[in-house]
Amino acid sequence: MAKKEFDFVAKRKTFMIIPCVVLAAAIIVLLIFNLEVAIEFKGGTMLTYSYDGDVDLAEIEDYVSSLGYNGVRVTRGSSIGGELETFTIGFASTEGLSSDAQQEISQGLISRFEHGITLENSQDVSASTGSSFFFKCLVAVFFSFVVLMIYIGFRFKKIGGWSAGLFALIALLVDVMVVISTFIFFRLSVDANFMAVVLTILGYSINNTIVVYDRIRENRNLYGKKLSFTELVNKSVNQSLTRSVYTTVTTAAAVIVICVVAVFMGVPSIISFAFPMFVGLCSGLFSSLCLAGPLWAGWKERKSAKTA
C-alpha cells in the first residue's frame, strides 16, 4: 500500500496566513512598546568593569540610574581569555559621557559595591557611526538575497529557475520577519547578534529550500510530463520532509541547549543570539517546506491555466 502524501500545495494559503498573523501581532507590539535598539546602532557610551565575587546587575543598574542617567543597560560578560568576570554599563545618548562623568560613576561603583570593581574599557559610539553600521548590515542582507536568487536561477534553469528564486526569496523574507518578530515579542535588544542571526538563518533556510528544489528537478527528469507541477512539488516536498526535519531538529536541539545553559549562567548576550536562532531554524524549516515550493507550484499552475 502506497504511503499517503500530504498535499502541501493545497494548503499553501493556510500556511501563508501563519506568518501574516505573526507580522500583524509584531506590528501591534512594536507600536505599543517600541523596539529595543543596542547602543552600537543608536549611539552612546559603554563602560566595561571587571569584578571579584558576585554582583547584582539590577542593583548596579538602579544605582547608576539614580545618579540621573537615563537609558542605562547593564549586561554581564567575561574577558576574551575568560580570566576576568565583567559587566558592561551602556548609556544611550547622542553626545556620550564626559571623562568627569565616567570618573564619577566609577568612583561611586567602587565605593558602594567593592568587589574589586575596576574600569577595563570605555567606548563611545556616535549615532552616525551606529546608523552607518546598521545600513551596512542591511546592505549585506540585500546582496545575500541577490546572490541567492542568481544562484537558484542558474542552477534550476531547466525547471523555471528564476521564478523558483523569487519564491525562495519570499520564504527567506518570512524567516527574516519571524526573527525580527522574536526580538520584538521578547523585548530583546537589536544589536550585532541580530544581524548574525539573520545571516545564519538565511544560510540554513536556503539550504533546505535547495534540497526541495533539487528533488523537484530530479523527479521532473524521472517522471517527465506524467505528473502535473502540483503533483511534482507535493511528491518532492514529501520526499524531502524527513531529511529536512531531522537536520533542523538536531541543529535546533544544540541551539536550545546553549540557550538553556546561558539562562542558568546569566549571559544575556548569548541568549539574545541562541533563542532567536532557535526560532529562526523552526521558521526556516516551515518556509522551505510549506511556502517556497507550494507557492511556486500555485503560481506555475495559474500561469499554465492562463496560457491554456
Counting residues of the chain whose pLDDT is more than 70, the rounded percentage is: 94
Question: How far is it, in rounded angstroms, from Cα 26 to Cα 184?
Answer: 6
What share of residues in the chain are helix, strand, coil (percent, to 5)?
A: 70, 10, 20
Compute the Cα dihedral for 234, 236, 237, 239 and give only its sign.
positive
Contact 284, 205 (CB under 8 A): yes
* CA dist list (Å): 207 to 155, 192, 235: 13, 23, 19
Task: Give the per-residue pLDDT at 120.
Answer: 87
Counting residues of the chain whose pLDDT is more than 90, the rounded percentage is: 38
Confidence bin at 1 (pLDDT 50/70/90): very low
**93: three-class secondary structure by DSSP:** coil
Sketch out the chain's domains with CATH numbers. 44-125 (3.30.70.2040), 130-307 (1.20.1640.10)
Q: What pTM, to 2 d.p., does this model score?
A: 0.84
Cell of 50: 571587571
Q: Would you say residue 42 has pLDDT above 80?
A: no
Confidence bin at 39 (pLDDT 50/70/90): confident
pLDDT tens for 116-171 read 888 888 888 776 776 777 788 788 888 888 888 888 888 888 777 788 889 999 99
* CB-based burial, 123-148: b 16+ in 10 Å, e otherwise: ebbebeebeeebeebeeeeeebbeeb
